[in-house]
């Protein structure tokens, strides 16, 4: 029998916390269905080994757009490891000022990732899209048809028109507490279809007053989301679990 998770953290860097085993334990104890994203293919196997036997933690194979310039030679390893998991992330594009210069390489890697996922079929991807929402959606539309893979846009910050386009392409959105701090983010999130919403921490990058957010700790994200959508928090949390079940089924 498969137990139902209580909540969802669909984008967390468990291996960037000081103790990966403890981070996995925290997600298990709180029954948080967690996608442990990785930033390089080399990091994948250790995560898989540590998460073996975990009920609520799944490991994504990733190559973060910030690391593409130095790590793109690991694409061969990415391809070799892809059959070992259904989940891919963190991948994507970042056209912000610090990473703009590697955009050509990022595009080449991202297109390759999407093509490999399309060929493999049935993958679920957690995608980064800073200042590149339109380009990410162009690539997804061209290279990963809806029936051959599923896309979750992590920390989406595009326009409302881009959000509509993403929803029409079948994308889900994982929302964290930091996205809901400012009006622009709140307005965007309020426009998303409720049956495509997931929660995430993006830990340990998102921080609380006391330091990095805890692994799987989506409590503030759920609280802010329920205030924004005027929904009861536990109902909303259950809906997000149902959204996850629909995504992976």
Which CB atom, from 113 or from 161, has the smaller least distance to Mn ion? Answer: 113
Q: How far is the CB of 205 from Mn ion (least distance, A)?
A: 6
Structure tokens at 249: 């089924």
Which CB atom, from 198 or from 227, has the smaller least distance to Mn ion? Answer: 198
Distance CA 234, CA 140 (A): 33
Q: How far is the CB of 176 from Mn ion (least distance, A)?
A: 9
In the window 63-102, what residues touch Mn ion (CB under 5 A)?
90
- DSSP annotation string for 54-117: -SSEEE-B---GGGHHHHGGGHHHHHHHGGG-SEEEEEEEE-STTTGGGHHHHHHHHHHHHHHH
Question: Total residues at the site for Mn ion (CB under 5 A)?
Answer: 2
Which CB atom, from 35 or from 189, has the smaller least distance to Mn ion? Answer: 35
Q: How far is the CB of 90 from Mn ion (least distance, A)?
A: 5
Distance CA 88, CA 66 (A): 16
Which CB atom, from 15 or from 90, has the smaller least distance to Mn ion? Answer: 90
The pattern of x and - marking residues 194 through 213 that bind Mn ion according to CB under 5 A reads --------x-----------
Distance CA 228, CA 31 (A): 25
Structure tokens at 147: 């029936």
Residues of this chain that bind Mn ion (CB under 5 A): 90, 202
């Amino acid at each position: 029998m498969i137990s139902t998770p209580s909540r969802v953290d669909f984008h967390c860097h468990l291996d960037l916390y000081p103790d990966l085993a403890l981070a996995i334990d925290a997600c298990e104890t709180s029954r948080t269905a967690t996608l442990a994203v990785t930033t390089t293919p080399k990091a994948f196997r250790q995560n898989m080994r540590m998460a073996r036997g975990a009920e609520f933690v799944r490991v994504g194979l990733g190559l973060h757009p910030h690391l593409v310039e130095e790590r793109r030679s690991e694409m061969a390893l990415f391809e070799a490891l892809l059959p070992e998991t259904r989940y891919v992330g963190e991948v994507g594009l970042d056209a912000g000022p610090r990473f703009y210069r590697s955009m050509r390489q990022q595009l080449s890697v991202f297109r390759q990732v999407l093509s490999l996922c399309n060929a493999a079929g049935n993958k679920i991807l957690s995608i980064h899209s800073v200042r590149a929402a339109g380009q990410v959606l162009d690539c997804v539309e061209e290279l990963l048809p809806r029936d051959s893979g599923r896309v979750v846009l992590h920390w989406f910050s595009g326009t409302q028109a881009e959000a509509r386009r993403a929803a029409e392409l079948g994308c889900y959105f994982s929302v964290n507490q930091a996205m809901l701090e400012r009006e622009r983010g709140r307005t965007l999130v309020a426009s998303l279809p409720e049956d495509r919403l997931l929660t995430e921490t993006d830990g340990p990058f998102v921080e609380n007053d006391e330091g990095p957010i805890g692994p799987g700790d989506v409590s503030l994200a759920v609280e802010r989301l329920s205030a924004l959508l005027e929904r009861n928090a536990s109902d909303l949390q259950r809906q997000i679990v149902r959204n996850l079940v629909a995504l992976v089924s």
